[in-house]
Amino acid sequence: MGTSARVWVHGGPDDLAPRLEARVEELEAAWSRFRDDSDVSRMNASHAPTHVGDDTVDLVRHALLASWETAGWFDPTLGLEVAAAGYDCDFARLAPLHEGFVMTVDADTRTLTGVRPWRGRCATIDVNVAEATVTIPDGVAFDPGGIGKGRAADLVARRALECGATSVLVDIGGDLRLAGSPPAGGWRVDVEDPDNPVTPLVTLRTDAGGVATSSSTRRRWSTAAGPRHHLLDPATGTSSTSDVSTATVIATEAWWAEALATAAVVAGVDQALELLRASGATGMVVDRHGVRHDAHDLEPFLC
């Protein structure tokens, strides 16, 4: 998944740490876009029913559900567009903006000819739970970005509790899952200020669930057509130009918080706040002028 992972646990057996590390590595091996032998890479390359692990079936099903529940603002079918925008390798290998990286797109396999309606694209992905197969049709590529880190955090937290931990916090690339018995006063989570990373924008308090932040100010690179970032607008297939720079969401699980945060950045301030209200989650967005906009029910979570 091209990121770091940290886990804090209370209770459990002495060998819990290596068990959880192995679980993270297992999910990375299955879901990475940058490994040719991962489930995601194999099913994207096959365009036929591809046997995958149960974790990957779970991931694809959650991604399609998130797309449906966000009315398409979150779209897991933009893998080709992400690659065509220049994000076709681990982000650490992409040239930063000031180095003048020039993108070349292969005309036969990666040139975009249009973006199909999101419902049509998601409907073309077939998930056969009984056979543990996923079929990705030609012209579509599944992208676990925007949900994979959160779902991994959920699954690692679940494993920790199954192994006997009484309390766990999983942080995968900044997407958090909090589970078990919370510390006195609840978990406290600092939300980074995009304009001043030294001082938190706010501190949130929650007893359990998922917390995720998505931002167009990170994972940026340069192309011949200008600056790009990894959050794509499903309507255009290119980097979002909405008035939201950062979104932070608190939800029941980390996969849902991450998908909503991704959708909120793409949707823009007004629709993002409505999306959070309708979803039963809460959070905040920061617009491109640095102004914070809180969802109507965020107040109880603010320290």
Mean pLDDT computed over every residue of the chain = 82
Q: What is the pLDDT of residues 62-98, one digit of tens each?
A: 999 998 888 888 888 887 766 565 444 443 433 333 3
Other beta carbons within 10 angstroms of residue 32's beta carbon come to 19
**Helices 254-267/54-69 angle, 10° precision:** 40
pLDDT at 139: 85
pLDDT value, residue 236:
62
pLDDT for position 35: 92
Q: How far apart are CA 199 and CA 60, in angstroms?
A: 36
Residue-wise pLDDT for 241-270, tens only, equals 778 889 999 999 999 999 999 999 988 898
Mean of the pLDDT values across residues 94-122?
A: 40
pLDDT digit string (tens) for 210-237?
999 988 766 543 444 444 445 666 666 6
Q: What pLDDT was estimated at residue 138?
A: 87
* Number of Cβ within a 10 Å radius of residue 11: 15
The H-assigned helical ranges of the chain are 16-31, 39-46, 54-69, 79-84, 118-123, 148-162, 254-267, 269-279
Band (102; pLDDT cuts 50, 70, 90): very low
| 3 state DSSP class of 295 | coil
| Dist. CA 165–CA 72, nearest whole Å | 37
CA 154 from chain centre, in angstroms, equals: 12
Query: pLDDT at position 217, please?
Result: 61
User: Is the pLDDT score of 274 beyond 60?
Assistant: yes
* 244 token code pair: 């939201």
pLDDT of 103 > 50? The answer is no
Q: What is the predicted pLDDT for the residue at 90? A: 45
Count other C-beta atoms under 10 Å from residue 300's C-beta. 8
pLDDT for residue 167: 96
pLDDT at 83: 59
pLDDT in tens, 133-185: 999 988 888 999 889 999 999 999 999 999 999 999 999 999 999 999 999 98
Whether 230 contacts 145, CB under 8 Å: yes
Tokens of 122: 């998601």
Give the CATH fold of the 5-301 domain. Answer: T-fold (3.10.520)
Domain ranges within the chain, ordered by starting residue: 5-301
Distance in angstroms (rounded) separating the CA atoms of residues 100 and 93: 14
Residue 85: its pLDDT value, please?
52
Contacts of 302 (CB under 8 A, 6+ apart): 202, 203, 204, 205
- pLDDT of 115 over the 50 cut: no
**Can you say whether residue 238 is alpha, beta or left, with left for phi > 0 and alpha for psi between -120 and 50 degrees?**
beta
Distance CA 249, CA 15 (A): 33
Per-residue pLDDT, 99: 32
